[in-house]
Chains A and B, each alone.
Chain A
């Protein structure tokens, strides 16, 4: 399988998603021990919305980011298309 050529925006969007996800992971763990922090929950929900939007944008360039029905597939089945994360 040949590696598809990814546009430069893909790499920009991927880094953006990694940055948003970093904040989400931080909030997730923080909220596990601070479940009553209303402001943090608001931030968490806003970022969750933002990541949903960005995930969609990335998938139009890269193909599915998640499996088992959390992403739609193109035709033909493009889950297995490289590059995989360790090949980027």
Chain B
């Protein structure tokens, strides 16, 4: 069971209409290292992960949906006042032809989200290492996005998201240590 709360995890403000920035940001909506992939990856892995780390995967997976909503809010606010001409000039003509200004799970290059972005290996160490890598890749993407953006309000929210990836990576690393310790104990049985 899940509950929705009618508020963003962190305030999202937008300085001005900027469809080109939205086109880049959508990488974190429907891209390989984006928030949808993260949420679905963790919440799906948790069924077979050892009990010791089920809570962590549940909680980080849930937080990723809050991040997904923040990215959606950025894309929505950056494009809502754009004309079709402005969208075309920003490289979103093809997107507009298919979706108008509706949000859709694609990456910055327009490729639709695919389950091949994620894995559930059933091996807890393999799964957690993938999760750590995913967080580091997402952190890097947020940095590249900040480097390209000149919107101080967007950059504030992107910096928040970048820092969350750092915390998640740290917690996943601790989860690996917890499992290694458990494995070590089992040797004595």
Contacts and interface: CB of A to CB of B under 8 A. Distances in A.
Contacts, number: 63
B8 interface: yes
A79 to B, nearest CB: 8
A85 interface: yes
A88 B12 CA distance: 9
B6 A70 contact: no
A22 B72 CA distance: 20
Given A85-B69, A86-B69, A29 B171 contact: yes
Contacts of B76: 86
Interface residues of A, number: 25
Interface stretch (A1-9, A11-19, A39-47): A11-19
Interface residues of B, number: 27
Interface string B154-168: 000000000000011
A17 B7 CA distance: 9
20 contacts: A14-B7, A15-B11, A18-B7, A18-B10, A22-B9, A25-B9, A26-B167, A29-B63, A29-B167, A29-B171, A32-B53, A32-B55, A32-B59, A32-B171, A67-B3, A68-B3, A85-B7, A86-B12, A86-B69, A86-B72
